[in-house]
Structure 1
């Protein structure tokens, strides 16, 4: 295995799947680097985050398609291409702008297979950057997986590390249903070991990052590493946790969560999104409905406040659920402190 950034791992997956299947196309704003870079040639950057760099040079502009700044056009094109037998990977530069294309997503692609009685499929991947912590202000920093997970017919995944980013993106491209693929902006430069060559990871199912006896901590995306930092501090005091990386918010791996809860008796959910109608709320409901007999303490939710993401760096640091808040929530669940 090779150590790579999440950005490089995602790029690997796109190259892998486009080489494997000529029906895979990439659609979005500046995905081929725009009309020209400093060198005077296309493919100067490969999108604002560099994930699609190099694709244009190998696959050409028939398969790496720059679009106008129109999310509805991007998703509308992806919908039509999928119904025509292709496997589009549509990039929306920021998840915050998904509202512009919501009809095409929740009222069209999510319902194609159902409304056509299984005679049509929608093998579409919608890649979006998300998340706070990069000083990008309220309209470019939201985590919207809760809203999209509420739509029947959509699969929603949130990788937390480079290996999952590569493997899950490959799996998403091969899937016959629409997949919302959410990438935290603060993780693009994070590094980890990534399998070389062709690699496909399970699209669904949580991952047990570490084992412990005192509490079950469920996190996703950037929050997985923050929860890991909190766990390291707690271990010095003899408190150990099961840390579960949710990986997918639709479907949710209820089985792993409930199995862990039956062993630890305490549940802390760490979710960067706002608290109302959140993934944290959903997991708390699952625990209350199906794991109540196992609970030895109230379910704790560590989330952002119910406010827009602040622009000021000091306020944004307070907004994001950090390791200290997670540590305090776990300590309270375990010891009542």
Structure 2
């Protein structure tokens, strides 16, 4: 069925009469000439699609830069408002300045009267020391509560503005599978040694479908998520994640980098130019938040929210035959 689809695609570019004429002129090499024409037509179409994609991505990049600038301005405004609010809260909770007691002052300045004489001005008794210290403690407690509330609100606002989760935080690289073996404790898992352009290979534990034959993976190129936290899977430490394409009926294929890729090549996204995290923190659940938007489109190209997986200067990452499916 795949061959028929490709044949129909080629015949949209190459005239049947031309093929007959070439075969008639050169029966021996006619098939090779037609194969060359078909390959050239396929590459021309791929180039046109790539150029259209680049133009669209450049347009989206400009819009993205404008949105980032607006976000920075809003962030600055929010931080300024929060500082003013915190300062106003501190001023409202500060204790009022203590004023001298007018009656006590007048009584102190008045000359002493003889015994039995009545005071010219009634003098109020001074408050007890225990009630005064209690009031000071209450005021101090209220002020500390206001400071904590202002600080926590400021932290929440700044966190909401600054924490952005997008695909640029993933360290995706091209890797070559050097060796494959079955997991000693799990029949459904395989253990691979993968070269991702570092001094030594990484050990990767994967669960693949029955369609994938482990022996056929050796020597092939794949796309790996390299900044996941190393973890033990059935007793074997896995240091990366192998990306696969998966349909709803559990048909699984490896995501394939473009021809000419080498181990260690970065997979990037034109609309998301940020640098990846050194290591994804499990409590932030970055992979879990991004994974629903990692998909293979109708042309078999891997993308994140419509932005293609790309190895710069070499092409796009694809599924070998699956379309309209998820990446996991």
Q: Compare CA radii of gyration and give the structure with the larger one.
A: 2
| TM-score (structure 1 length as normaliser) | 0.19
Between the two structures, name the one with larger relative contact order (CA 8 Å, sep ≥ 6). Answer: 1
